[in-house]
Structure 1
Amino acid sequence: MSRYKAYPEYRDSGLQWLGEMPSHWVLRKSKYVFNRVQREVRLEDGVVTAFRDGQVTLRSNRRTEGFTESIKEIGYQGVRKGDLLVHAMDGFAGAIGVSDSDGKCSPVCSVCVPTDPEQIHVAYFGYLVRQLAVTDFISSLAKGIRERSTEFRYSEFSVLDLALPPQNEQANIAAFLDQETAKIDALIEKQQRLIELLKEKRQAVISHAVTKGLNPNTPMKDSGVEWLGEVPAHWGATYLKYATSMIVDCPHETPVYSDDGEYLVIRTADLNEGHLDSSKMYRVQDDEYIRRVRRADLMCSDIVYGREGERWGHAGLVPEDSRYCLGQRMMQFRVGPDFSPDFLMWLLNSDNVYKQGQLDTVGATSPHVNVSTIRNFSLTKPPLIEQKEIGRFLSEKSRRFDELIDKAVKTISLLQERRTALISAAVTGKIDVRDWQAVAVQEGVGVES
């Protein structure tokens, strides 16, 4: 924040979250700044939603799937562009902001309008109140024990002490944050696009290597299998059931987890295209582990495969014996003598195999691939020595892609931290932006610190 100056004079606010504030600012309870309104709903009104990222907009502007649809819109209320919406259940997670649209919202939101529009710039308070949420101040007011049981209704919001600069200063702070956060958001979006491109490139490398091999000059032949296309002339083709000595589906009951358990449970959430992440795995005690491996122990170099849910189709290798067991929605493959575990694992992560499983998931609300489909996945079958070479190649390539992706993820995290810090500094008066003037934002311009 070194590029920004402080206000010339401060005084103690008496509030822990605010600390010292500019001497000409005042404090007001929210109920003296905003009134809650409950307007009638019009026929043309679409549903407005307060999202956790702070955007308040028509649901149709974001997505149309994944929402709970009300059969009867009991208690719905009219929303107008410029209203401040505070979500009672998700406000603690950041679902607070200024609506960019006319519409209607469910009674879970408090619709707030300024008591004196001449003195209140709503966008400033959208930034301020949401900042209190994402920095966990509001969560300290929670009445419930669990995060999802907390409520932040108008009765809680109305007694908050808010920092109130003069109206023209409120407007300047909001305009400053609109432009500066837009620059940061643009940089974040570029990093997110880079991550997607890296993932696409990694998948292309995997799919090419396991179906075309590593020698670009090798003669090719038609595999006779739609999913595999042309393959090297000296390669064969087979099915998963012939490439493995054992195919085991998980026990169909939820494990009894224990934080201090010795054994780790592999779930679909722990798999990502060849990588098994044990850092967030759930644990079980001895007796539950025995129940989970009653069909077969998980051994080193067995392949685990997710067959249900949003993360279906990901495979990984078990790194060691007698430490892991299958969670729900998981399968276990023991690799046969004609296959390299590394090669088969990467082959299962390829688009060529994924598309075979997609036939079972088309139109399904919860994706689910049948065991019989999985057993009959069509596979390439290179000579064993070539499989091992391809496996080593893909492990190294994937490691390099992961390094680049991790770097982009860390960059995003730093940008998000800067965004939060900048908003906090502006709405609490730690930086003085009264003389700030909007400038044209050029694509690719960085964010100064």
Structure 2
Amino acid sequence: MAKQKIIFARIMRKRYPKYKPTNIPWLKEAPEEWEVLRYKYLFKEINDRSEKGEEELLSVSQYTGVTVRKDKLEDERDNLTNASSLEGYKRVDKNDLVINIMLAWNGSLGVSDYNGIVSPAYCVYKGNSQVFSKYFHYLLRTDFSKNDFKKVSTGVVDSRLRMYSDDFFSIYTILPPLPDQRAIAAFLDHKCALIDTFIQKKTRLIELLKEQKQALINRAVTRGLDPEAPLKPSGIEWLGDIPEGWEVKKVKYVITSLASGGTPSMEKKEFWDGNIPWISPKDMKYAEIFDSEIKVTHLAVEKTSVKLIPANSILMVVRSGILQRTLPIAINRVSVTINQDLKAITLNNTIMFEYFIGIIRGIENELLNACRKVVATVDSIEIPYLLDFMIPVPSLEDQKKLLDYIKREEANIDLVISRITREIDLIKEYKSALIAEAVTGGIDVRGWRNKDEAG
């Protein structure tokens, strides 16, 4: 409880004794003893190349800064890199600053805690004797620093922006005395660690609630709502017994069509930027689909293999790396087109489409185990296996009752999840504000002490 009070306490308002105006647009004033100068007087670019490429490969992210690449792999089948060799990659020493010049504008940079190598496309910098690296790690990842990077970067659109070393060196920054830099970094290390622990615990709670929801759905679609209902063997090992009045059917006996998608020629501009949603796996984030990131034209529907999928069909991802973890399925509430990584399903009158989605979600793990083709590049659902996959099918009356129950229980869990998510968002906002105040001298932390270490 004491740590939580520290986390949620308002940002301390102890100020430096005196301030002076600055010529930095985002900083009206700074502590009197702090300097204002360009980054070129603090950092120098290092271009030390690996001879054999055997050092630890590092990656740079806007979320986590510089990390060990292999620690971020979600599957042991994933490659560390697509490069045939790591020879010529840039060496990085601990406390070096690494910037992804293509994504500096979104904060893809950080001070490294590791020795290793990074892509030759990145820039590596060493600070001089005036620099305490961890202080600049916090400063350079603030929103106002990212705005500076965007202003000096060159390119037509955000995805093409580049910030080269001369651009970085031209930016004005603040320079606290070294003791101040160390104090600020120590203060933020401690406070951010508390906040990050809080976020991790809340994130884990959300995961547990999602697991609870998955178990609830699984129980409902495989056993029904009445724990006293007589059961009968299903004849399926993973399913076990089911209520007596239920049937077990292959998927192909409850569907009327299974439509494929495609991709119109990217070279033909007349096929793109229309008003018809073109759904790909990246759009399958919600239970109901109304729109997509990319759209096609009516001409694309007329002239290519891409066909219009009627509203209230069922969309399922059948080819994507995401199948390693989950099986996205949704209802399109408007007419759409789909790419080749999806299938569109329509059902016969023996099963409600919302209930079919409930079944797939409830037995997701079993279905993936039975129907997923695991390959080195990208996983896929084997359609013949999917069509022959056995599912429990209650009467339409029971399906409606089960749907009502699932919706009600899901709504209760989702409400709790939304509240926790809001807590996480608020503490993240607090963290950003705290960092901004500390690194700009808005608060004086020189007298701060870690009470836990002080005993």
Same fold (TM over 0.5): yes
Q: How far has the Cα of 1:14 moved from its partner?
A: 0.9
Q: How far has the Cα of 1:375 moved from its partner?
A: 2.0
User: 1:393 and 2:405 equivalent?
Assistant: yes
2: CA distance, partners of 1:51 / 1:283: 29
Q: How far has the Cα of 1:209 moved from its partner?
A: 0.9
The CA deviation string for residues 332-378 of structure 1, in whole angstroms up to 9 with x for no partner, is 22221221222112112223575356543223421221332222221
Aligned CA distance change for structure 1 residues 91 and 14 (closer, same or farther; 3 Å): same
Q: How far has the Cα of 1:67 moved from its partner?
A: 4.2
SS at 1:49's partner residue? Answer: strand
User: 1:326 and 2:338 equivalent?
Assistant: yes
Query: What is the identity, as a one-letter code, of the residue corresponding to 1:53?
Result: Y
Kept in 1, the 8 Å contact 2:135–2:185? The answer is yes
The CA deviation string for residues 363-397 of structure 1, in whole angstroms up to 9 with x for no partner, is 34212213322222211121221111112211222
Kept in 2, the 8 Å contact 1:4–1:431? The answer is yes
Kept in 2, the 8 Å contact 1:54–1:130? The answer is no
User: 1:434 and 2:446 equivalent?
Assistant: yes
Aligned ranges 1:144-183 → 2 under 5 Å: 144-183=155-194
Aligned CA distance change for structure 1 residues 39 and 283 (closer, same or farther; 3 Å): closer
1: CA distance, partners of 2:184 / 2:343: 54
Query: What is the identity, as a one-letter code, of the residue corresponding to 1:180?
Result: K
1: CA distance, partners of 2:17 / 2:292: 48
Aligned ranges 1:36-435 → 2 under 5 Å: 36-39=45-48, 41=50, 45-63=55-73, 65=78, 67-116=80-129, 119-131=130-142, 135-251=146-262, 253=264, 256-258=271-273, 261=275, 263-272=276-285, 275-278=287-290, 282-288=294-300, 297-300=309-312, 302-312=313-323, 313-319=327-333, 323-351=335-363, 355-356=367-368, 359-435=371-447
Please name the residue that 2:6 is paired with.
none
Q: How far has the Cα of 1:33 moved from its partner?
A: 1.1
2: CA distance, partners of 1:425 / 1:404: 32
Q: How far has the Cα of 1:224 moved from its partner?
A: 1.0
Q: How far has the Cα of 1:311 moved from its partner?
A: 4.4
2: CA distance, partners of 1:40 / 1:240: 56
The CA deviation string for residues 293-332 of structure 1, in whole angstroms up to 9 with x for no partner, is 98675144x3222222144532223446xx4443442222
Aligned CA distance change for structure 1 residues 295 and 132 (closer, same or farther; 3 Å): closer
Kept in 1, the 8 Å contact 2:258–2:346? The answer is yes
SS at 2:232's partner residue? Answer: strand
Kept in 1, the 8 Å contact 2:105–2:146? The answer is no
Aligned-residue RMSD, C-alpha: 2.8
Aligned CA distance change for structure 1 residues 344 and 60 (closer, same or farther; 3 Å): closer
Please name the residue that 1:10 is paired with.
19
Kept in 1, the 8 Å contact 2:139–2:145? The answer is no
Q: How far has the Cα of 1:405 moved from its partner?
A: 2.4
Aligned CA distance change for structure 1 residues 286 and 369 (closer, same or farther; 3 Å): same
The CA deviation string for residues 180-219 of structure 1, in whole angstroms up to 9 with x for no partner, is 1111111111221122112211111111111111111112
Q: Unpaired segments of 5 or more residues in structure 1?
A: 442-449
The CA deviation string for residues 87-141 of structure 1, in whole angstroms up to 9 with x for no partner, is 222322222222111222332232222222xx32111111112225774331121
The CA deviation string for residues 268-312 of structure 1, in whole angstroms up to 9 with x for no partner, is 334347x11436554444444566898675144x32222221445
Aligned CA distance change for structure 1 residues 160 and 344 (closer, same or farther; 3 Å): same
Kept in 1, the 8 Å contact 2:289–2:333? The answer is no
1: CA distance, partners of 2:371 / 2:183: 55
2: CA distance, partners of 1:271 / 1:292: 23
Aligned CA distance change for structure 1 residues 251 and 30 (closer, same or farther; 3 Å): closer
**TM-score normalised by L of structure 1:** 0.87
Kept in 1, the 8 Å contact 2:289–2:332? The answer is no
SS at 2:91's partner residue? Answer: strand
Aligned CA distance change for structure 1 residues 311 and 406 (closer, same or farther; 3 Å): farther
Kept in 2, the 8 Å contact 1:212–1:232? The answer is yes
Higher mean C-alpha displacement, 193-202 vs 343-352: 343-352
Q: How far has the Cα of 1:165 moved from its partner?
A: 0.9
Q: How far has the Cα of 1:28 moved from its partner?
A: 2.0
Kept in 2, the 8 Å contact 1:298–1:332? The answer is no
The CA deviation string for residues 125-171 of structure 1, in whole angstroms up to 9 with x for no partner, is 11112225774331121101222322223222222212011110010
SS at 1:349's partner residue? Answer: helix
2: CA distance, partners of 1:59 / 1:266: 31
Kept in 2, the 8 Å contact 1:348–1:354? The answer is no
2: CA distance, partners of 1:110 / 1:39: 11
Aligned CA distance change for structure 1 residues 248 and 421 (closer, same or farther; 3 Å): same
Kept in 2, the 8 Å contact 1:93–1:133? The answer is no
2: CA distance, partners of 1:304 / 1:87: 37
Aligned CA distance change for structure 1 residues 283 and 296 (closer, same or farther; 3 Å): closer
Kept in 1, the 8 Å contact 2:279–2:292? The answer is no
SS at 1:429's partner residue? Answer: coil
Query: What is the identity, as a one-letter code, of the residue corresponding to 1:384?
Result: L
SS at 1:145's partner residue? Answer: coil
1: CA distance, partners of 2:50 / 2:294: 46
Query: What is the identity, as a one-letter code, of the residue corresponding to 1:86?
Result: I
Give % identity.
Answer: 27
User: 1:22 and 2:31 equivalent?
Assistant: yes
1: CA distance, partners of 2:66 / 2:437: 23
Aligned CA distance change for structure 1 residues 407 and 220 (closer, same or farther; 3 Å): same
Kept in 2, the 8 Å contact 1:238–1:379? The answer is yes
Aligned CA distance change for structure 1 residues 239 and 426 (closer, same or farther; 3 Å): same
